[in-house]
Structure 1
Amino acid sequence: MKRFYHISDNPRIKIFEPRAPMASQYRMLPDVVFAITGELLHNYLLPRDCPRVTYYIGPQTSAADRQYFFGHSTATYIVAVEAAWLKRIQQAIIYCYEFPPDNFYLLDQCAGYYISEKTVAPLQVKPIYNVMDEMLKRNVELRFMPSIISLASAVKDSSLNFSLIRMLYAR
């Protein structure tokens, strides 16, 4: 059975109400509650508005893209963030809500997004006090860069599986 999660900086959410998606590519959806499975949970283990480029190798990834984007990395996943966010990441406390699997369905296989059009009561919430440590436990390479804009463009045009999150805030 799949487990579904939602990350927030708010430790006191009792009920998740469906709301309009913020990302432009999902604005045609009805109001929903977003969730992610454990496999790609690391994409959200950062402060909410932290822009990030996340990617991993999929079955369609070319050898050239594998070499170019992963090089000698042994990580399964790469998450790139802007160096200006380092202090906020180090100081962040975030909360991982676990949801019951009922009523969720897959929206985006590559990004791992699941949605529910119904109100969701979390099963439990766990604080995460060290987000960098939590990512490293998941075989994630966390990269700090002066800017992630050109990387986002390159990843978007590649054969990798990826998610570009909060890019509105990228410099």
Structure 2
Amino acid sequence: MRPEPGEVLHFSEDPTITRFEPHVAVTAAQPEAYVWAVDESRASDYWFPRQCPRVIAFVGDDTTDDDRDLIIGPGCGDRVHAVEYAWLDAMRTVELYAYRLPAEPFRPFQADDPHAQVATVPVEPLGPAERVGDLFACHEAAGIGLRVLPNLWPFWGAVTESTLGWSGIRLRNAAPAPRG
């Protein structure tokens, strides 16, 4: 599930949204109200249950071959996603939907990392919510490695110390870091 040209996507477990209103998220670090969406390059970061903690690692312009081989590994293309075992049932059973939104009212949230798109005006979807389907099949079809780990924190540490691009989403929902 990726946006077409001129579109961005918003992923949700609610298939009944008819209008997206700007709001300040409970976890927001900024006071501005936004409608959030993602572009094509990062849509796969949201092929997960909404509250599922995940670590995303991807090859960037400055990524070394050693870091790519060590962290992403062979057979995973240029990207790997990691989740905890505790979230496997939710990954299998979640009903996840994508809303196609017009790209026009959106702008990059941060100029140096333009994947997150925000709008400050209400936005109506271009059509009804579309079921994303089997999240494992989405990853497979995109050639994205999906790792299942007992705990995300050791992997997070390795990724953030590397030359790879990375993102951590909903990490507050991850199991506590192992001691020692």
Normalised to the residue count of structure 2, the TM-score between the two structures is 0.87
Give the aligned residue type for 1:112: H
Find out whether 1:121 has 2:124 as its counterpart.
yes
Q: Provide Cα deviations, 1:110-151, integer angstroms capped at 9, x if missing partner.
A: 472111111111112201231111221111111111011111
Matches of residues 65-104 of structure 1 in structure 2 within 5 Å? 65-104=67-106
Percent identity, please.
27
> Does structure 2 retain, via aligned residues, the 8 Å contact 1:111–1:162?
no
Q: Give the match for residue 158 of structure 2.
A: 154
Which consecutive residues of structure 1, in runs of 5 or more, have no partner in the other structure?
none
Q: 1:164 aligns with which of 157, 164, 168?
A: 168
Tell me the distance in 2 between the aligned counterparts of 1:72 and 1:87.
26
Q: Number of residues paired by the alignment?
A: 169
Task: Write the mapping of 1:8-157 to structure 2, written as runs, cut at 5 A.
Answer: 8-23=12-27, 27-108=29-110, 110=113, 112-124=115-127, 125-157=129-161
Q: Deviations over 1:12-31 (max 9, x none)?
A: 0011111114445xx22511
- With normalisation by structure 1, the TM-score equals 0.91
| C-alpha distance after superposition, 1:29-83 (max 9, x if no partner) | 5110111112211110110100000111010112331122123234232110001
RMSD: 1.7
Deviation of 1:3 (Å): 2.2
Q: Is the 8 A contact 1:110 1:162 kept in 2?
A: no
Task: Identify unmatched segments of 5+ residues in structure 2.
Answer: 176-180
**Counterparts of 2:52 and 2:79 in 1: how far apart (Å)?**
18
